[in-house]
Amino acid sequence: MVDTVVAKALLGRDEKIVRVDLGARSYDIKIGRGLLEGAGAEIAAVMPGARLAVVADETVAGLHLKAFSQSLKAAGLEHTAITVPAGESTKCFREFERLCDEVLAARLERGDAVVALGGGVVGDLTGFVASAVRRGMAFIQVPTTLLAQVDSSVGGKTGINSRHGKNLIGAFHQPALVLADTAILDTLPLRDFRAGYAEVAKYGLLGDADFFAWLETNWQAVFAGGAERDEAVARSCQAKADVVAADELESGRRALLNLGHTFGHALESAVAYETERLVHGEGVSIGMMLAHEFSQRLGLIGEDTVERVHKHLSDVGLPVRVQDIPGQLPPAETLMDIIAQDKKVSRGALTFILTRGIGEAFVEKGVDPALVSDFLKEKLEA
């Protein structure tokens, strides 16, 4: 794995490159401290002469748009900036329509590009816009959260939310380039960094026991922002890239990436996506604990494995029990309804990601809903 993560010196910076291998849709993820400064040159190298529409939420625009814009100007790239409100509710039909209109109003042509400067919300929404305008414009991601750098910027999933659930409307649309400036994460609130870290830990838990052990040793350095942070982001991107390359359209193995997500999404939905109570990564953290406890219940793993996962997620400050979510939760029946309507359902049988040990997750398509329901009832009453 590590041999495909190439370290190189660029303009005096250390930069790691993860190649996402998807044939004609292959692209590079570049990772390093201070990449934003040279972003214009990187983009111009991939798309010389392109005109850009840059989408950012108001928070990120205030922090980083000026520097990004200057970098584009320095590279001679014409661009229009479009801002959207911060927050999950921006992933809606109305903003989708507005952004499509604004990209067209900027008279971008097919060889031009739409850029997402932001976290998962802006990346998912903007990617869907890029997929749809003129039936597919080039798309560039400049992820500004840890979650976006290790998860949503890899693999081409884009989308918006529907009244029926999260991410139910969208497209697979691969970016042409991803620039992950790990120094930007210094401006991230600790809670958001932790939430993104849940996805980093997930890559260890689902398929790489060595990486999980490495994180147990090095997580403080990852939080502090040294070379370990770049290493953690690169190994996470590589892990996801490997899975995505093997299964671009999520027909099989890619489902492993949903470790912790079926429970996690149900909890997010149960609190009506109120981020004061629960953000996505926190839902994933609790969801991963539930996936391990449910695997233990089925006799797949022992108490010691569950304890080890519990300890690491707790150490970094992530929530690990449904009771860690402030306020009242709905009953197990409601959570089951949400799970049944979740997109990881096939012909009525429940699909869960279970595990046989650290780094040994697998897809189980025939899970009995009654077992899950009983398990959730106990957990909610615990």
Q: Which residues are catalytic?
A: 135, 157, 199, 240, 250, 254, 258, 261, 265, 280
Letters for 16-55 (x = contact with a copy of itself by CB under 8 A, - = none) are ---------------------------------x------
Distance in angstroms (rounded) separating the CA atoms of residues 378 and 332: 9
Instruction: Tell me how far CA of residue 371 lies from CA of 115, 320, 352, in angstroms.
Output: 44, 21, 12
Instruction: Name, in order, each residue with C-beta under 8 angstroms of 342's C-beta and a sequence gap of 6 or more.
Output: 165, 262, 265, 266
Task: Count the Cβ atoms, other than its own, within 10 Å of residue 328.
Answer: 7
- CA nearest neighbour of 182 among 171, 193, 195, 168: 193
SS3 169: strand
- In angstroms, give the least distance from the CB of 182 to a copy of itself: 29
Binding-site size for a copy of itself (CB under 8 A) equals 38
Residue 166 annotated in ligand binding: yes
Distance in angstroms (rounded) separating the CA atoms of residues 364 and 184: 38
- Of the candidate spans 99-107, 274-282, 296-304, 308-316, the one that interacts with a copy of itself by CB under 8 A turns out to be 99-107
Letters for 193-232 (x = contact with a copy of itself by CB under 8 A, - = none) are ----------------------------------------
Q: Establish if 345 lies at the interface with a copy of itself (CB under 8 A).
A: yes
Q: Establish if 159 lies at the interface with a copy of itself (CB under 8 A).
A: yes
Q: Establish if 89 lies at the interface with a copy of itself (CB under 8 A).
A: no
Q: Which is nearer to a copy of itself, 133 or 184 (CB)?
A: 133
Single residue of 11, 104, 224, 246 touching a copy of itself by CB under 8 A: 104
Looking up tokens 């929530």 gives: 319
- CA nearest neighbour of 83 among 61, 67, 100: 61
Task: Please check whether residue 160 is in contact with residue 93, taking contact to mean a CB–CB distance below 8 angstroms.
Answer: yes
Single residue of 56, 132, 146, 198 touching a copy of itself by CB under 8 A: 132
Task: Please check whether residue 373 is in contact with residue 332, taking contact to mean a CB–CB distance below 8 angstroms.
Answer: yes
Residues lying near a copy of itself in the complex (CB under 8 A) are found at: 49, 93, 96-97, 100-101, 104-105, 107, 109-111, 128, 131-136, 157-159, 162-165, 167-172, 249, 341, 343, 345-347
